[in-house]
């Protein structure tokens, strides 16, 4: 095999709580994550040139060692003494710096793709262990599906998938620093923590309504005061029939869960009429 094409799926947080900080500065979290059918296309091709070359359709993304796909490929090539190089093409569809794990999913796709290309026979668990060296979300992106994540996000428990629904995503025209958001949450006294256990119960019961009504993201307490449009988008989605609406990750993407495609399409059309620039996506569960 000389070439492989992979899909790197985005994720949304159905619930996100911060429960503490480790001595090394990493935050302890309790999250429920779900993969959605919004993805980047990743092509990995074996090259005779002994280096890793990354290309992307977005001019502003780094293609050197700052790129997580580059890091993932280099990690396995060096570990297994592979002499060939790789050409990696990233066709980006997941918004960048949006709370949807686009970069982490690219790194995960490259780890899985290189493992398959060179028949390294690494198990999923072994890939996840390596993925953690690249970022806390990478092990989840390797596993995919619905999961309860604890510790710094790397301790994962598979959950039943979100009941089939349609997901409207709105990426506002600015980026949010995840590092700064987590730093700011340390300075707040959080009184209302998300009902993570209720979200898990909703998934186990196959109840979309229970999941939607239980959703919560403690990081909204930092991001929304700085960017009130996030709250406006959440409220608008609820008015348009979403069962629940929330910011994903540290933001600024807002998503809404809709029972029917017709409701989601109608809401998307209405959102497109809001007079400021946004990226709007219609997706679904896998």
Residue pair 200/185 in contact (Cβ under 8 Å)? The answer is no
Helices 124-131 and 102-117: crossing angle in degrees, nearest 10, is 130
Residue pair 172/252 in contact (Cβ under 8 Å)? The answer is yes
Give the chain's end-to-end CA distance (angstroms, integer).
Answer: 27
Please say if 11 is a catalytic residue.
yes
Catalytic residue among 17, 40, 112, 137: 137
Q: Residue 88 contacts by C-beta under 8 Å, 6 or more apart in sequence?
A: 42, 43, 44, 45, 52, 53, 54, 55, 69, 70, 73, 110
- Residues paired with residue 90 on neighbouring β-strands, in sequence order: 42, 56
Catalytic residue among 11, 171, 210, 268: 11
Picking from 93, 88, 50, 83, the residue whose alpha carbon sits closest to that of residue 72 is 88
Residue numbers annotated as active site: 11, 137
């Amino acid at each position: 095999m000389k070439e492989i094409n992979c899909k790197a799926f985005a994720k949304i947080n159905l619930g996100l709580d911060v429960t503490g900080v480790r001595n090394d500065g990493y935050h302890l979290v309790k999250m429920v994550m779900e993969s959605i059918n919004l993805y980047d296309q990743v092509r990995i091709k074996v090259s005779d040139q002994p280096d890793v070359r990354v290309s992307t359709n977005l001019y502003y993304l780094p293609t050197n060692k700052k790129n997580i796909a580059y890091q993932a490929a280099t990690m396995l090539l060096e570990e297994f003494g592979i002499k060939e190089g790789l050409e990696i093409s990233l066709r980006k569809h997941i918004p960048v710096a949006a709370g949807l794990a686009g970069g982490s999913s690219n790194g995960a796709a490259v780890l899985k793709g290189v493992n398959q290309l060179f028949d390294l026979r690494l198990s999923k668990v072994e890939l996840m262990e390596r993925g953690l060296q690249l970022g806390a979300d990478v092990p989840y992106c390797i596993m995919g599906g619905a999961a309860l994540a604890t510790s710094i996000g790397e301790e994962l428990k598979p959950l039943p998938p979100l009941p089939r629904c349609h997901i409207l995503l709105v990426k506002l025209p600015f980026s949010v620093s995840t590092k700064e958001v987590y730093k700011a949450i340390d300075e707040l006294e959080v009184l209302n923590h998300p009902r993570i256990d209720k979200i898990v119960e909703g998934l186990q019961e196959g109840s979309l309504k229970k999941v939607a009504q239980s959703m919560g993201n403690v990081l909204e307490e930092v991001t929304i005061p700085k960017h009130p449009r996030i709250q406006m988008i959440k409220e608008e989605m609820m008015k348009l029939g979403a069962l629940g609406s929330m910011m994903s990750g540290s933001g600024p993407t807002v998503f809404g869960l809709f029972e029917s495609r017709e409701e989601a399409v109608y809401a998307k059309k209405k959102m497109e009429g809001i007079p400021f620039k946004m990226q709007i996506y219609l997706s679904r569960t896998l």
